[in-house]
Amino acid sequence: MPLPFKLVYSDDYYLPIGAHVFPAQKYRLIHKRLLESGIAARPDFITPKPAQDEDILRVHTREYVQKLKMGTLSVQEEMQMEVPYSPELVKAFWLAAGGSILAAEWALREGAACNVGGGFHHAFPDHGEGFCVIHDVAVAIKRMHQDGKLTRAMTVDCDVHDGNGTAAIFPPQGKTRIGQPLPSAGASQRDIHAAQEAPHKNGSDPLEVFTISLHQAHNYPAYKPPSSIDVNLPDGTNDDEYLGWLDQSLSSALRHFEPELLCYIAGADPYKEDQLGGLALTIEGLKKRDELVLKVARARNIPVMITYAGGYARRVEDTVTIHCNTILAAKEIFARTSEVQ
Ligand SMILES: [Zn+2]
């Protein structure tokens, strides 16, 4: 049985960054594991092309793109990126962005698709940071808007780190932004802000993007620009607490906003064994997280595009397992085509 959705992948997703806490080999390992475990077969994969410069320029400034292409970043800018610059690195990020464009197209066509890469949510319009050079998800959303395929998108960012680039690119807009805590027991230590977008207006059809970020409060980045919904989780948040917050965030968001595409940024780093994270989710809990996001989307017939973002488990095998489980969860949920939701 083929997967009920496409997996977008290239061996060239590998990032040429040498010995690094970011396991650049994870993409190839995930691809291998998906095939060996029987979760996916070769025909499930489609190969992306690099994004075009005009796609990148809808999100990033001309000056920044020029610096990347010419190799003229300052030392400071390269340090902020936290990955060593090379022309090959730039190529890999253009390809990841092309992969997210392709995944968005297939998600809109078939209900779901996964870019076995991407999720570079710390990239800003005018600079890269936190291992992220190009914001592939934003590039994909803006391209889909450009192509007339959507006007309302939602990002659901479950990486342990705040989606600061996403929030900077798509700042919450509209008069309905509310800065009050969402109702929840035990919310005292948690700072949750919700903003709601104005209902979609007919006429000029501007792009509206509702952004959700669940992240560890005491972690990178120091400055967290506001998302539509931010959930600042305390250190050591466990499976049940996390799932409760996620459920509540999704319910609240979808009460206010009906997206035509949900971009799920499925970071593997809320895992308790992560080297750059301080939450306490288990591998099982992370799969439940995936199931929750995907079930909500499936039940409402919202197409879902999945990207991977970070994952720095002490054992790279665990990061691979967590990322493969996201595909497994999607396979289980989207295979039930005849089921009444
Ligand atoms: Zn992360």
Q: Which amino acid appears at position 198 of this protein?
A: A
- Return the biggest CA–CA distance within the chain: 56
Q: How many angstroms does the Cα of residue 130 sit away from the middle of ligand 1?
A: 8
What are 66-92's pLDDT values in tens digits?
999 999 999 999 999 999 999 999 999
Residue 179, pLDDT > 70, answer no
- Ligand 1 centroid from CA 129, angstroms: 12
Pick 246 or 175 by higher pLDDT. 246
User: What is the distance between the alpha carbons of residues 84 and 96, in angstroms, rounded to a whole number?
Assistant: 17
309 C-alpha to ligand 1 centroid (Å)? 6
What's the gap in Å between 312 CA and the centre of ligand 1? 8
Burial of 328 (0-12, 13-18, 19+ CB in 10 A): middle
Instruction: Please give the distance, rounded to the nearest whole angstrom, from the Cα atom of residue 202 to the centre of ligand 1.
Output: 37
**Ligand 1 center to residue 175 CA distance, Å?**
31
Residues with CB under 5 A from ligand 1 (ion): 159, 161, 267, 269, 310
Query: What are the DSSP calls for 302-330, one per residue?
Result: --EEEE-----BSSHHHHHHHHHHHHHHH
Ligand 1 centroid to Cα of residue 101, in Å, is 21
Burial of 203 (0-12, 13-18, 19+ CB in 10 A): exposed
Show the tokens assigned to 99: 């992969």
User: Higher model confidence: residue 22 or residue 91?
Assistant: 91
Identify the burial level of 240 via C-beta atoms within 10 angstroms of its C-beta, where 0-12 means exposed, 13-18 middle and 19 or more buried: exposed
- As a dihedral over the C-alpha atoms of residue 235, residue 241, residue 247, residue 248, rounded to 10 degrees, the angle is -80
**16 versus 279: which is more confidently predicted?**
279
Taking each helix axis from N to C end, the angle separating 283-299 and 239-256, rounded to the nearest 10 degrees, works out to: 20
How far does the centroid of ligand 1 lie from the alpha carbon of residue 213, in Å? 11
The model's confidence at residue 177, banded by pLDDT at 50, 70 and 90, is low
Q: How far is the CA of 233 from the centre of ligand 1 (A)?
A: 14
Q: Which of 236, 239, 233 is nearest to 213 (CA)?
A: 233
Q: Is residue 330 within 8 Å of 294, Cβ to Cβ?
A: yes
Ligand 1 centre and the CA of 297: distance in Å?
23
Residues 6+ apart with CB under 8 A from 75: none
Half-sphere exposure of 79 (CA within 13 A, CB side): 3
Residues 238-262 pLDDT 10s: 999 999 999 999 999 999 899 999 9
How much distance in Å is there from the Cα of 311 to the middle of ligand 1? 6
The residue-averaged pLDDT of 315-341 equals 87
How many angstroms does the Cα of residue 24 sit away from the middle of ligand 1? 14
Indicate left, alpha or beta for 155 from its phi (over 0: left) and psi (-120 to 50: alpha). beta
Q: Cα(194)–Cα(218) distance, rounded to whole angstroms?
A: 20
Ligand 1 mean position, distance from CA 341 (Å): 32
CB contact set of 22 (below 8 Å; sequence gap of 6+): 15, 83, 131, 310, 312
Res 191: pLDDT: 44
Q: What's the pLDDT tens digit per position in 113-144? A: 999 999 999 999 999 999 999 999 999 999 99
Q: How far is the CA of 336 from the centre of ligand 1 (A)?
A: 31
